[in-house]
Structure 1
Amino acid sequence: MSTPSQPEVNRKGTDEPETATDSSIVRSEIWFHDGNIVLQAGRTQFKIYQGLLSANSTVFADMFSIPQPPLSGGDLVEGCAVIHLSDSAVDVTYVLEALCKRSHVTIDEPVSISVVAAFVRLGQKYQIDAVLSEALKRLYNEFPVELKNLDDKRYDWDKISYSKGINIDVANLAREQNLLSVLPYALHLCCYVRSDVTMQGVQRKDNTIAKLAPINERAVLAASHSILLLQSSTTFSWLTADGSDECDTHQDCNNGRNQILRNSFFPLPLYTCLATWAREWEDNMCGACALKAQDRHAVGRQKYWDELPSTFGLPDWEELKKERVLSNI
C-alpha cells in the first residue's frame, strides 16, 4: 500500500507549487464560509474544517499538531492557511464530498470506478479509513477471492457502476495501489478482449481511453495462450474425456461432445473458462454422460479458479487472501 505523505502549507513566493496563478484559481462548491482551512489541488480550492480533517485522517491530524510559523496576509485565503495537495482536484472533490456531505458512501447504491479510485488513492495516502474501507468493500465485492462468492453474485455489478473499460481501470488501480487480491479476476476479464484492443485500449463514454498499464498489458498478453490451454484441461476437460460407464449410446454422446467442442473452440477458441453449466450441452448426451460431464465441469471450474493467480504471475489465493484479512474487510 502507498506510504502516507504529508501535505504542505506553502507560502507564496517561496516553495508554493507552480500549479496555478491567483487569477486562475477556481473555488470549489465545497466551500464553507465558516471553514478554517483551505485545501488546494491543482487550481481548485476547497474551504473546510481543520477538525473534520483531523478526525478522519491521521496524516492531517499529525500535521495540524505541529506548530506552524505565522503566515502573512498574502499567504492566506479569507484568513485561512492554504494547504497544497499534489492530488487531482477530482479525487479531492470525491473524498471531501464523502466527508462533508456523506456522498458516495451508501453501500446499497453503486458508485463509479472514479469514486472508488479516489477513495483508495487518498484513503491510503492520508490514512482516511472511512473512505478507504468503503472503497475496499466495493472492490472486494466485485472482485472476490472465492469462486463461490462470484457465483453468488451472478456476475452482476452491484457495488460499482459498470462502464466501458472498467476492467482495465480496476486492474490498473489494483496494481497502482498494491491491491493484489483484486488482480487475478480483473486481469482474467481483460483477457476477454482481442489482443489488438488490449494494446490500443478501450474508449470510454467520455471519449478518453482506458489502457492497461504496461505491467498489466504484459501479464494479459503473456497469459492469453496459457488460459486457453488451462481451460481445456480444467473447465472443459469433459469434452475430451470418456463418457459414463452407464452409457448405452457411446457414439452418440461422443458426437454430442465433439459438436460442442467444434462450436466453442473452432475455428477460434472462446474464453469461457468460468462459464457455468449450460443445459443445452445436455441435448446430445444421455442422462448419465450429462451428469458426469456436469460434475467434471464444476470440478474443472474450481481448478481453473485455483490456478488463476499463477497464470498472471501472482501469489496463490491463500497468500492473496491475507490482504483482505489485514484490511478487516
Structure 2
Amino acid sequence: MSTLTASQPAAKRKRDGEPETAAKPLVRSEIWFHDGNIVLQADRTQFKIYQGLLSANSTVFADMFLVPQPPPSGGELVEGCAVVHLSDSAIDVTYVLEALCKRSHVTINEPVSIAIVAAFVRLGQKYQIDAVLSEALKRLYHEFPVELEDYDINNCWAMISNSDCILIDVANLAREQNLLSVLPLALECCSREDSDFLVKGVKREGHSVTLSPADERMVFAANDPLLRLQSTTTFSWLTADGPDECEAPDDCNNGRNQILRDSFFPCSLYASLATWDQEWEEYTICDECLAKAKGLHASGRQRYWDNIPSIFGLPGWEELKKERVLSNI
C-alpha cells in the first residue's frame, strides 16, 4: 500500500536548459464541506471532508490519523486543513467519497457502472473500507456466480450496467484485484466474443481497453477445448443413441442430425450454458428421445460448468467458493 503523506514531495531540481513544465492547476471537487477538517488530494483534484467520517469507515485512515503528523508548511494548508496526498485516481476517489458522504451508487435495485464497482474494489481493499468493498463484491458476485443454479436464476446485468467492454473490464478488474472466483465465468464469456474485438478492444480516453496479454492468450487457447467440452457435455445428446422406447430411431436420428447441422455448421455455436431451446422440439424427434435429450442436456450443462475453472488454469469451484465465504457476501 502506498504511504499516505501530508506534504507534497519536493520537486526535483531541473537541469540547465531543461524546459519548464507547468503543473496542472488544482481542481476543487464538488465534495467540499466548508466545515471539513481534512483535505484529500488525488491527481490534481482536492476534496475537503471530515477526519471522523474517514476514520469511521476506514481502519487505514483511522490508524493514520492516530499517528502524530509534523506541522504542515504554510503552502500545504488549504483553508487551514492539512492535505493528504493519495496515489489513487481522482475519479476513483470521487466515486468512493460520493458513496460515503452522499450515499450515492449504493441503491440495491439500480445497476451501477463497472467504473464505480472497480473504484469500490480498489479503494475498498486498499484502505479497508468495508462498506464500499462489500457493495462492489455483492454486485460482482451476483453477475458472476459460482453456482450454475444462480447463473440460471439471476437477472443478467441487474446490478452492474452493461456496456460494450463490460466483460473485458470485469476480467481485468478480477485479475488486478485477485478476485479469482469471478474469473472463470468472466473469461468463459470473453471466449464467446469475436476474436477481432478482443484483439482491438474498445477505445476509451485515448487508448484501447483489452484483456491483459496473458488472459488474452488464455482465452484464445481455450476456444478449442471449450468447443470440444460442450460437444461431450451440453450437446452430448445430439450424438447419443435414443432410448429403447424409441419407436422411430431413424426419424429421431435424422432429427438430431438436422439440429446438429443447423446449430454447428458452417460455424460452431457457442451455447454451452444456454438452457433447453423449445425450437428443438419442432424437429422430428419422438417424446421418449426428447425426454432423454433434455436430461442429458441438463446434466451436460452442469458438467460443462464444473470444468470451466480448469480450462482457464484456475482452482475448482469448491476452492473458489472459499473466497466468497471469507468475504461474507
Q: Same fold (TM over 0.5)?
A: yes
- Partner Cα distance (1:131, 1:98) in 2: 7
Paired position in structure 1 for 2:215 = 216
Deviation (angstroms), 1:235: 0.2
- Partner Cα distance (1:118, 1:73) in 2: 32
**CA contact 1:58–1:127 (8 Å) conserved in 2:** yes
- Partner Cα distance (1:21, 1:64) in 2: 32
Q: Report the 3-state secondary structure (helix = DSSP H, G, I; strand = E; otherwise coil) of the residue aligned with 2:82.
A: strand
Deviation (angstroms), 1:13: 3.6
Q: Report the 3-state secondary structure (helix = DSSP H, G, I; strand = E; otherwise coil) of the residue aligned with 1:80.
A: coil
**CA contact 1:6–1:60 (8 Å) conserved in 2:** no
**CA contact 1:165–1:203 (8 Å) conserved in 2:** no
Q: What letter corresponds to residue 216 of structure 1 in structure 2?
A: D
TM-score scaled by length of structure 1: 0.94
Report Cα offsets for 1:10-36 as digits up to 9, x if no partner.
146469xxxx96760010000111111
Paired position in structure 2 for 1:289 = 289
Paired position in structure 2 for 1:66 = 67
Paired position in structure 2 for 1:9 = 6
**CA contact 1:201–1:209 (8 Å) conserved in 2:** yes
Deviation (angstroms), 1:209: 3.5
Q: What letter corresponds to residue 260 of structure 2 in structure 1?
A: L
Moved more, 225-234 or 211-220: 211-220
Deviation (angstroms), 1:157: 1.1
Correspondence 1:126-145 to 2 at 5 A = 126-145=127-146
Q: Report the 3-state secondary structure (helix = DSSP H, G, I; strand = E; otherwise coil) of the residue aligned with 2:97.
A: helix
Deviation (angstroms), 1:67: 0.4
Q: Report the 3-state secondary structure (helix = DSSP H, G, I; strand = E; otherwise coil) of the residue aligned with 1:303.
A: helix
**CA contact 1:42–1:86 (8 Å) conserved in 2:** yes
Correspondence 1:98-247 to 2 at 5 A = 98-154=99-155, 156-203=156-203, 209-247=208-246
- Partner Cα distance (1:107, 1:229) in 2: 39
Paired position in structure 2 for 1:29 = 30
Q: What letter corresponds to residue 44 of structure 1 in structure 2?
A: T
Moved more, 171-180 or 189-198: 189-198
Deviation (angstroms), 1:286: 0.4
- Return closer, same or farther for 1:326/1:126 CA change in 2, 3 Å cut-off: same
- Return closer, same or farther for 1:212/1:22 CA change in 2, 3 Å cut-off: closer
RMSD (CA atoms): 1.7
| Count of paired positions | 320
- Partner Cα distance (1:86, 1:249) in 2: 71
Q: What letter corresponds to residue 80 of structure 1 in structure 2?
A: C
- Partner Cα distance (2:23, 2:82) in 1: 15
Paired position in structure 2 for 1:95 = 96
- Partner Cα distance (1:23, 1:312) in 2: 43
**CA contact 1:37–1:82 (8 Å) conserved in 2:** yes
**CA contact 1:113–1:166 (8 Å) conserved in 2:** yes
**CA contact 2:7–2:72 (8 Å) conserved in 1:** no
Q: Report the 3-state secondary structure (helix = DSSP H, G, I; strand = E; otherwise coil) of the residue aligned with 1:46.
A: strand
Q: Report the 3-state secondary structure (helix = DSSP H, G, I; strand = E; otherwise coil) of the residue aligned with 2:104.
A: coil
Paired position in structure 2 for 1:318 = 318
Deviation (angstroms), 1:213: 1.2
Q: Report the 3-state secondary structure (helix = DSSP H, G, I; strand = E; otherwise coil) of the residue aligned with 1:212.
A: coil
- Partner Cα distance (2:117, 2:49) in 1: 22
- Return closer, same or farther for 1:21/1:127 CA change in 2, 3 Å cut-off: farther
Deviation (angstroms), 1:208: 6.0
- Partner Cα distance (1:23, 1:148) in 2: 51
**CA contact 1:235–1:299 (8 Å) conserved in 2:** yes
Residue identity (%): 69
Unaligned runs of 5+ in 1: none
